[in-house]
Amino acid sequence: DLLGEPMTPIEQLIGKGAKQITMDAVPIEDVSVYACADADMTFRLVQKLSPMLEDKELRPLFQDMEMPLVRILGDMERVGVRIDRPYLEALRKELHDLATKMEKEICQLAGETFNLNSPKQLAVILFEKLKLPVIRKTKTGLSTDEDVLTKLSDKHPLPKRLMDYREIQKMQSTYVEALLEAAKGDEDRVHTSFNQTVAATGRLSSSSPNLQNIPIRSELGRRIRRCFIPKAGHILLSADYSQIDLRMLAHMSGDEAMCRAFRAGEDIHNATASEIFGVKRDQVTPELRRISKSINFGIVYGMSAFGLSQQLGISRQDAEQHIKNYFERYPGVTTWIEKTLESARKDGFVRTLLGRIRYLPEINSQNGAVRGFAERTAMNTPIQGTSADAIKVAMIRLAKEQVEQRWRGTMLLQVHDELVFEIPRDAAKDTQRTIKTVMEEALKLSIPLVVDLKSGQNWAEMTALKL
DNA sequence: CACTAGTGCAA
DNA sequence: TATTGCACTAGTG
Which run of H or of E encompasses A194?
strand A193-195
Measured CA to C1', the nucleotide nearest A245 is: B11
User: Quick one: which residue's CA is nearest to B5's C1'?
Assistant: A140
Measured CA to C1', the nucleotide nearest A119 is: B6
- Ranges of residues in chain A whose predicted pLDDT is under 70: 1-43
Distance, CA of A119 to C1' of B10, in Å: 23
DSSP secondary structure, A389-419, as one string: HHHHHHHHHHHHHHHTTSS-SEEEEE-SSEE
User: Quick one: which residue's CA is nearest to B11's C1'?
Assistant: A416
pLDDT of residue A334: 97
pLDDT of residue A52: 87
Q: What letter represents residue A460's amino acid?
A: A
Measured CA to C1', the nucleotide nearest A206 is: C6
Residues 6+ apart with CB under 8 A from A6: none
For residues A88 and A302, give the distance between their C-alpha atoms in angstroms, rounded to a whole number: 39
Distance, CA of A365 to C1' of C13, in Å: 35
Distance, CA of A120 to C1' of C11, in Å: 9
User: Quick one: which residue's CA is nearest to C7's C1'?
Assistant: A174
What is each CA distance from A378 to A300, A344, A347, A352, A375, in whole angstroms? 11, 7, 11, 10, 5
Distance, CA of A381 to C1' of C3, in Å: 8
Residues 6+ apart with CB under 8 A from A84: A188, A226, A227, A228, A229, A458
Distance, CA of A227 to C1' of C13, in Å: 40
**pLDDT tens digits, A410-438:** 999 999 999 999 999 999 999 999 999 99
Which run of H or of E encompasses A378?
helix A368-403
For residues A105 and A168, give the distance between their C-alpha atoms in angstroms, rounded to a whole number: 14
Chain B nucleotides with an atom closer than 7 Å to a protein C-beta:
5-11
pLDDT of residue A2: 33
Distance, CA of A170 to C1' of B8, in Å: 8
For residues A459 and A215, give the distance between their C-alpha atoms in angstroms, rounded to a whole number: 11
User: Quick one: which residue's CA is nearest to B7's C1'?
Assistant: A145
φ, ψ dihedrals at A228, nearest 5°: -85, 115
Instruction: Using the Cα atoms of residue A116, residue A117, residue A122 and residue A124 in order, give the sign of their dihedral.
Output: negative
Distance, CA of A415 to C1' of C11, in Å: 33
Q: Which residues are in reach of strand B, CB within 7 A?
A: A 119, 138-141, 143-149, 163, 166-167, 170, 174, 212-218, 221, 415-418
Distance, CA of A90 to C1' of C13, in Å: 39
pLDDT of residue A38: 54
Distance, CA of A425 to C1' of B6, in Å: 46
Chain C nucleotides with an atom closer than 7 Å to a protein C-beta:
1-11
Residues 6+ apart with CB under 8 A from A344: A350, A360, A363, A374, A375, A378
pLDDT of residue A47: 74
User: Quick one: which residue's CA is nearest to C8's C1'?
Assistant: A174
Biggest CA–CA distance in chain A, Å, is: 77
Choose among A249, A247, A221, A205: nearest CA to A340: A249
CA angle A339, A342, A348 (to 5 degrees): 125
Distance, CA of A267 to C1' of B11, in Å: 19
pLDDT of residue A13: 39
Q: Is the pTM of this model over 0.75?
A: yes
